[in-house]
Structure 1
Amino acid sequence: MKRVRRGAVKPVSAPWVRTRLRTAPGAAWALALLVALTACLAAAFPRALDRYADAGLDRALTQARPDRTGVLVTAPQPDPALSARERAESMRPERLAGRYGKVLAAVEGAPLPVDRAQSAYGVRTTEGLPVPEPWLPQPSGLPAQFHLAAQAGLGDHAEIGSGRLPRATGGPVTAATGALEAAVTAETARTLRIKVGSVLHVPGVERAPFTVRVTGVLAPRDPDGAYWSTQPVLRKPSLMRVPGPPGADHQHYWLGALLLAPEAGPALLGTAGTPVRYWQAAPRVGALHAHDLSALTSAVAGLESGPGLREVRAGVDPAADVSTDLDEVFAAFGELRSGIGPLVSVAAVGAGTVAGVVLLMAGGLAADRRRAELALLRARGASLRGVVGRLLAETSVVALPAGALGLAAALLALPGARLAPAVGAAVAVTAAACAALPLRAAVAHRAVRVHGGRRDVASARPSRRRTVAELTAVALALGAVETLRRSGASGGAGDLVSAAPVLVGVIAALVLVRLYPLPLRRLARPAGRLRGAVGHLALARAGRTPVSAVLPLLALLTALTTAAFGGSVLAGVTDARDQAAVRVVGADARVQGTDGPLPDGVSERVGRASGVREVAEVGLTDQANAGDGKQKVPLAGVDPGAYAGLAARTGLGAFDGDALEGHGGGAGQPLPALASPAVAERFGTGPFSVRAGDGTSVTVRIALVRAFTPAVSGDDFLVVDRAGLSDEAARPSLLLLTGDPLDAGALRRAAGDAGSVLLRSAERGRYVDSPLQSGAERVYAVAVAAGAGYAVLALLLSLLRAAPERTALLARLRTMGLTRAQGRRLLVLESLPQAVLAAAGGALTGWATVRLLAPGVDLTTIALATASSPVGRAGLRTDPWSLALPAVAVLVVAVGVAGVQAWWSGRRGSVTELRAGDAR
């Protein structure tokens, strides 16, 4: 036990953290709320991206169908040099089952998760065997052909509709077996008129044909599953076409499948169908994750021509082959993700930067609020390390539980995604919150001082070191933006795309902070000659803004720039989809005859449908003979006035309707025509003959050239006045409808069976084909909204920093006769220069960012799902609303906060305010 020297005073250590938290509980709770919210958003962002990416990969695999995504291992029939018994044994299910386990082990070891319930193995023929039964359908007089398949697990994947499952009776099946049993699916039975008890005679090789008796009709339990769809012919027959020269009449025949018992595999050795042994492994779609795409692609490549293939051949057969289209599916999805990722990360980086700045501002506000306290501690001998350590402990007690709470909320709200990125993001936010106050205090109090000099923006002169640092940052940012403009988002500049708005915001913030004092200095002297004191005092107060205002200005500019860029991206995506849809449809809706002209009365019925305002009738001939009769071109006969109005409304090749009117052709003057550039280049401006679908001819002359037209979406077209065509050729076969909203059901009822209906809204929805696209848009919008929210918070924090001083100033001025209205005017005018600077600078920076980065940003991938875009490259354009609304919001918030502060201070007495201000 340690003795205490007599007369010595025991040191009493006050619990610093507990004391500070009790002294300012409001500030502690505010910090905890800020950290929890920021950590939650930071942790939720990567998890949301993972969920959308996984859903997009699932959709890509589902759309690709099992015949492309399944891993199929095939081995040829046994060596003919082997004995008949050995060949038959290798085709039996027992031998195939042993190799099946080795195939699954090789695929899962790749690693590629396998759905064992949908995987299968067996023996099948690779060529169709003609079955000359007269009762089978023969479209061109050709006999139907069948594949024979003995696939394991038939009873587990089908329900018996009638009859029973096939069996192998009468001893072991061999190549010489003369009778077999088989089953067919319900769709095969319905299409090929097969029923239980039907007998088919299948030709053999070096033997007489053997009979196959159908014993059952089966209904697949999961028709779209890999068991049935890896080889689609097992489930449903197909109408095949006999190859022939172009233009010749093609013959057709039916191709189906007969499902044998698994033990009947050796019988296929006696056919000419080139039987093979096969093992199909279905990937487990729910277990595939987008973040493993590189590993999955490598695994598939290894199975097709690498270590995986060697393992398969060692366990199955030296001549075995592995085939799958998974690599193509993965490549297409990877291209989609790589095109969307950099654009989404723009919002993430922008919002993250603003949130980081707000955390730093919160620490700076706390440090300024306790400047006198910390300066006194340093003056009384407290070490810088000790002060920083206690401040770190104080903020950690608040920030660590708040960060853990935010992380837990994100994990609960977004399950089923990776944990590590979310934890890393939450830890980064928590660490920044813990370190903001200690670091700011360490910088401010590294030297012991009691009083500090004025740090007004209008009077302070930046040091040379700061000037060099700012010039270096500006040079780096300008270089990065120029690199992005030259290389583009697809040229390896993805990280630059993400940081582009932040880089431009840094440049703008540094430049504006340097330029901001100049107008204040020039306006200060003229304002002093004004009669009222409010204007001059407000301008003087605005000039006393601390030089640390670069931090909130950076937050505001980054948020406004990100919002402008994000709004422009979303607007560009919307415009690209609208433009692509209208180019395909040609109007708000399209009713086209399924087989020639529409019946009489359809146009009137469609025009009376709900929502339809105007109907443009078009007599469309898809393959009119032009010139020498060897060149085909779509010919559209229209009413010039109505069609010109439609072209103007849709923006598809607007023209003057009077230039298309004419009743020539034949013996009269040539009929004026509107043509595509390709057709105009082909035929020139001279008259030429065009033969319509009914055999009549008309002479036309190209008078107008347009790249697009509503009636035809291709690159070749001719549009003429249908009054110059024959009555048969002028009959409407296409109706272009204008209206909103249009009822698809009513239009289909009005058109009947004679016409097909296509709405622009339905065509537009087809371009959002992947959850990765829609998810990216949602994440983008949420990130932009979060950035805007943090920008408002940054503005509030910057105003809150000066709130005590403003309140005390108003109290002093009221004792000197300042009215409440003048006080409100003073605070509003004082806040206007900074708010106008942020709003104007943000709008200008956002506009410059979009204009600078537009050449390097391609929105085609995120806007359109199809590989071939009907609008070409979807570029970035400036969205006026995205520039104006956030800037106006900044002004409204700044003026509103100043007005509220003036109103609140007016409710309290001047003596109370003066005491509060002096205490602060």
Structure 2
Amino acid sequence: MPTGEQGAPWVRTRLRAAPLSTVAFGVLVLVTAFLAAVLPRAVEAYETDGLREAVAVAAPESTVLELKAPAPGLELPDDARANAVLPEALAAVDAQARALLPAPLRADPAESAHGVRTGKSLEALDASLPRPDGVPPRFTLLAQSGAAGHATVREGRLPTAGTVSVDTRSVEGAVTAETARTLRLRSGSTLTLAGYPDGPLTVRITGVLEPQHPRGSYWSAEPVLRSPALASVGNHPPLFYWEAGVLLAPGAAPALLGGQGEAEKYWRYAPATGRLTAADTSALVEAIASLEDGPGLVRMRGLAGPTAQLSTGLEQVVGSYTQTRDAITPVVAVAAFGIAAVAFVVVVMSGGLAAARRDAELALLRARGGSLRGIAGRLLAENAVPALPAAACGLLLAVLVVDGARLLPAVLGASAVALLACAALPVRAAVAHRRPRAHRERDDLAHARPGGRRAVAELTLLVLATGSVLTLRRRGTSGAGDLLVSAAPVLVGLVAALVLVRLYPLPLRWAAGPAARRRGVVGFLSLARAGRSPAAVATLPLLALLTALTTAAFGGSVLTGVADARDRAALLATGADALVATTDGTPLPAGLARAVRDVAGVRQVTAVGIGYASERPAEETRSLTVVGVAPDSYAALARRMGLGDFTADRLGSRGGVLDAVASPGVAERLGRAPRRIETDSGPVTVRVTAVRPRTPAVPEGEFLLVEAAGLKGSPRPSVLLAAGPGLDPKALRAAVRGAGPDLSVTLRSEERAALSDSPLQTGAERIYVWAVAAGAGYAVLALVLGLLRSAPERAALLARLRTLGMTTRQGRHLLGLEALPQTLLAAAGGMAVGWATVGLLAPSIDLDRLALADAAGVTAPDAVLRADVWSLGLPAVGAVLLAGAVAVAQAWWAGRRTPITHLRAGDMR
């Protein structure tokens, strides 16, 4: 064969001979390379967004890195002690310590601060300050840097220091507007704080400040600095007092050294999240460990003092994020494996189609002495010319679409696609033409006899699938990095496809006999043609279709399970489509129910009264929740919401005994006999007539439902439940505001939306949607490629049959029926395998993290994987309809050409 410079014109000639095939092949490689490159980038991008948001939304007191050291002791002169806490000395340590933070930790200078604080709060002696239980309030004093850049002065001015020493007993301070409002302070007020041996410390309030970023670390790392809080002393019952913070000028720090407040220096560093990536998670945890108890702490002590300590809760925040990510990753990997398997089969099919189209040409080259190496090299060059640029374009497109991720995984994915695309045709041709042959032997399904190598390969795949399923069922998805576990659905689909390919000829043979005895020839010819399909042509599309249908069924079931879990969690949070209640538990206004009922979209309104009772008359603690309802209205609401529905006759009053619906725990304690309990409105006798696990008024927890009219005094309702999926939130809130103050509105739709805004959740769901869509697209392409493979032969067959008298209509029926057995097999097999896969793997797939990530306190007992009818049926029906449409289109196209055109196409058989 010619080599060297003579090869290039040959390659160019071959590409020019089939421009449409070359362009189609390039587009296939571009799309596949794009998907292979964009998938790891998209996963890393949403994981990075999840890490940044986890750190950004966590409480600042949990994420800030606080380096603190005790203030200089009495062993030093007063001047030296004062100099050690001056702003210049603290700022010098701050700059050096910030530079020593190990990567990837970076400090956010806008929210970081340093200063001196009292480690113990000081008791205020002023009688004018509020005392909830007669206990005087306590104040934490902070001489913190940067107040001017973090607050707006609403009243007065910022505090100044002047000349302050250890002996100074009068300083200036400022408080936030919330502190001033709660403790009745204003500009000009004074605080007299105990804790100094030579007299109290007087703090004169010079300003009232409004924090510019109240939720930032500057104000929230020390929560009492922004908002006062109630604390309690250890009495029985506890006595409460106010804890608050006062901001001093940085230069006033020496005044904090002389008392019993245990003054300490501190440097607080808010973590900067802008440069964090998902790949930094392990390094971030190691850096935190080093700072808390390792080489990093040793370096920090060299700056802040030998007894300095660094504390942070950032490792818990990162650990929670890591647990959520590790729970979601195996579920996402299932989708990745599914689309990768389908894409692999389709790319191999494209090579097989090209090899089949050029089978006569390659056989002639081999017969004339062409070597396998030479032929494979030419074919490799032909594929490389369109494949390599297409793969590079796919990689570039992936980089442009998703930024902020590492390049190496995308390069490896696109390179793998390019290698497969280049090698598919040469390998397929080399295997088919190992030896020169004069004619092509029959390799159809009806006469194919699989060899020993195929049996070994199938048994190996069966063992892998069985091992992956057993491992997944035993261990679950805890092994995030176990590729075999994540590939379980794909392996099950491949095994099922191979089994169906083995069984495929049997029904064709069974149906061919009865079809031959019928008068028409279309049925017999279609079955005979289906059985004459080459084994490779039938196997690869079936593999692609079954894998795609299994992935679509599994992915659709995952998405459905996640949606159901969130819907259920939102319903458990509200009990109805809308929940209206007073903020302090007082009865609702009289006209509220009527106002809510008039809101557009509201179908039903039920008012309930929630009280408490003790199960024994002599018992003082009332821990039993008693719900008074109107039986007819409430029963209809429970039935509409699907929360413990019951008939209205379960509630009522007979002979002075109230019929009740109870939760399982309450029913077990009270029994079914009449039982006397002590309610807020007096003693009543109840009898449990029905047991329900949940009820709209108390979606979670123990409860006792009774008729409100049977309670003594008939207390006014305190909760309003509204049902109506199309209710108008704005109109509802407007109606509630018009009915009275201090009313809260909780909407089921808003609770549902709040459960799906995490970057990890939305990113994983987006990947799944893309994977299912891409798998469906590849399945369609596999079906089309399989039909195109035999298109010339079908066209020639129709031409011959038309010369023998077959009508155009009969020809269309023939092509449609010929494609029907394989498509029906794939559709039915895909539905069965998808259902079986979901059933096998459902006990081991944890959807809680994917459905309810970062939703503290939210439970959804139904967050399990279950087979979804639409996910099973729609892809299968779509595949059947598509196959029929392609066959009809092919018959229509063949019917436009005259039979003589096909008979002159060079078919020498």
Shorter chain as denominator, the TM-score bin is over 0.9
- 1:285 matched to 2:278? The reply is no
- Mapping 1:413-432, distance limit 5 Å: 413-432=401-420
How far, CA to CA, are the matches of 1:784 and 1:426 in structure 2? 20
The one-letter code matched in structure 2 to 1:301 is A
1:243 is the counterpart of 2:262: no
TM norm structure 1: 0.94
Q: Secondary structure at the match of 1:118?
A: coil
Report the residue type matching 1:505 in the other structure: G
Map Cα deviations across residues 150-191 of structure 1 (whole Å, 9 max, x no partner): 222333434445554433324xx3211243333334444444
Residue 416 of structure 2 corresponds to residue 393 of structure 1: no
8 Å Cα contact 1:484-1:493 kept in structure 2? no
Distance 1:375 1:689, change over 3 A: same
Q: What is the rounded CA distance, in whole Å, between the counterparts of 1:626 and 1:632 in structure 2?
A: 11
Instruction: State the partner residue of 1:734.
Output: 719
Equivalent residues, number:
899
Which residue among 801, 821, 830 is the counterpart of 1:833? 821
Q: 1:330 aligns with which of 306, 310, 318?
A: 318
Shift of 1:14: 6.2
Which residue matches 2:704? Answer: 718
Measured against aligned partners, the alpha-carbon deviations of 1:127-161 in whole angstroms (never above 9, x if no partner) come to 22233334544444444432222222333434445
2:67 counterpart SS class: strand
The residue aligned with 2:122 is: 129
**Distance in 1 separating the partners of 2:235 and 2:197:** 34
Corresponding residue of 1:671: 658
- What does residue 816 of structure 1 align with? 804
State the shift of 1:638 in Å. 2.0
CA RMSD of aligned residues (A): 2.2
- Contact map agreement 1:836 1:891 (CA 8 A) in 2: yes
Distance 1:358 1:182 in 2: 73
Matched letter for residue 609 of structure 1? V
Q: Which runs of 5+ in 1 are unaligned?
A: 1-9
The residue that corresponds to 1:646 in the other structure is 637
Contact persistence 2:195–2:260 (CA under 8 A) = yes
Mapped partners of 2:857, 2:484: distance in 1: 27
Which of 49, 61, 68 is 2:62 aligned to? 68
1:118 is matched with: 111
Query: 2:866 maps to which residue?
Result: 877
Letter in 2 for 1:567: G
Partner of residue 690, structure 2: 704
Q: How much has 1:878 moved relative to structure 2? A: 0.8
**Structure 1: distance between partners of 2:388 and 2:655:** 85
> Are the aligned partners of 2:489 and 2:837 in contact in 1 as well (CA < 8 Å)?
yes
Please state whether the residue corresponding to 1:489 is helix, strand or coil.
helix
* Amino acid paired to 2:344: G
- Deviation at residue 195 of structure 1 after TM alignment: 3.9
Residue in 2 that maps onto 1:748:
733
Measured after TM superposition, the shift of residue 97 of structure 1 is 2.4
Cα distance, 1:853 vs. partner? 0.6
Q: Deviations over 1:772-793 (max 9, x none)?
A: 1122111111111111111100
Alpha-carbon distance change, 875 to 371 in structure 1, aligned in 2, over 3 angstroms: same
Distance change (3 Å), C-alpha of 1:873 and 1:338: farther
Greater mean alpha carbon deviation, residues 236-245 or residues 284-293: 236-245
Please report the TM-score for the alignment, with normalisation by the length of structure 2: 0.95
For the residues of structure 2 that align with 1:13 and 1:689, how far apart are their CA atoms?
100
- Supply the AA of the counterpart residue of 2:852: L
Contact 1:110/1:300 (CA < 8 Å) preserved in 2? Answer: no
Q: Which moved more, 1:646-655 or 1:405-414?
A: 646-655
2:577 is matched with 588
Whole-Å Cα distance in 2 between the matches of residues 14 and 97 of structure 1?
71
1:438-587 aligned at under 5 Å gives the runs: 438-490=426-478, 495-548=483-536, 549-587=538-576
> Could you say if the C-alpha distance between residues 873 and 335 of structure 1 is closer, same or farther in structure 2, counting changes exceeding 3 Å?
farther
Deviations 1:698-757 (A, max 9, x none): 10112211211222123311112223222433x322222221211223223333326432
Partners of 2:754 and 2:322 lie apart in 1 by 20
Per the alignment, do residues 658 and 140 of structure 1 end up closer, same or farther by CA in structure 2, a change over 3 Å counting?
closer
**CA deviation profile, 1:847-872 (whole Å, cap 9, x unmatched):** 11011111111211111132444323
Residue of structure 2 aligned with 1:353, choices 341, 349, 367: 341
- For 2:276 and 2:884, locate their aligned partners in 1 and report how far apart those are by CA, in whole Å: 52
Q: How far off is 1:408 after superposition?
A: 1.0
688, 696, 709: which is aligned to 2:675? 688
Structure 1 partner of 2:95? 101
- Give the Cα separation in 1 of the matches to 2:196 and 2:381: 88
Please list, as runs of the form range in 1=range in 2, the aligned pairs for 1:133-282 lying within 5 A after superposition: 133-161=126-154, 163-170=156-163, 173-203=164-194, 205-234=196-225, 236-245=226-235, 248=237, 250-260=239-249, 262-282=250-270
Which residue number corresponds to residue 6 of structure 1?
none
| Residues 207 and 270, structure 1, Cα contact 8 Å, conserved in 2 | no
Alpha-carbon displacement from aligned partner over 1:248-271 (angstroms, at most 9, x marks no partner): 3633225121322x2222211012
SS state at 1:507 partner: helix
**SS of the residue 1:597 aligns to:** coil
SS state of the match for residue 813, structure 2? helix
Paired position in structure 1 for 2:905: 916
1:804-827 C-alpha deviation (Å, 9 max, x unpaired):
100111111111111110010000
The aligned counterpart of 1:3 is none
Mapped contact 1:304–1:323 kept (Cα < 8 A): yes
Are 2:883 and 1:894 aligned? yes
Distance of 2:154 and 2:453 partners within structure 1: 86
State the Cα distance separating 1:439 from its structure 2 match: 1.2
- Give the Cα–Cα distance (whole angstroms) in 2 for the partners of residues 199 and 734 of structure 1: 45
State the shift of 1:390 in Å.
1.5
Following the alignment from structure 1 to structure 2, what is the Cα–Cα distance between the partners of residues 415 and 676?
52
Residues in 2 aligned to 1:196 and 1:862: alpha-carbon distance in whole angstroms: 51
Contiguous gaps of at least 5 residues in structure 2: none
2:148 counterpart SS class: coil
Residue 836 of structure 2 corresponds to which residue in structure 1? 848
Matched, 1:858 2:846: yes
> Which residue of the partner structure matches residue 7 of structure 1?
none
Counterpart secondary structure, 2:246: strand
Q: Which residue of 2 aligns with 1:20?
A: 14
Matches of 2:685 and 2:761, distance apart in 1 = 49
Work out the CA distance in 2 between the residues paired with 1:556 and 1:325.
Answer: 50
Deviates more, 1:203-212 or 1:345-354: 203-212
- After the TM superposition, which of the residue ranges 423-432 and 684-693 deviates more from structure 2? 684-693
**Which has the larger displacement, 720-729 or 569-578?**
720-729
- Tell me if 1:636 matches 2:627: yes
The 1-side partners of 2:71 and 2:481 are apart by 52
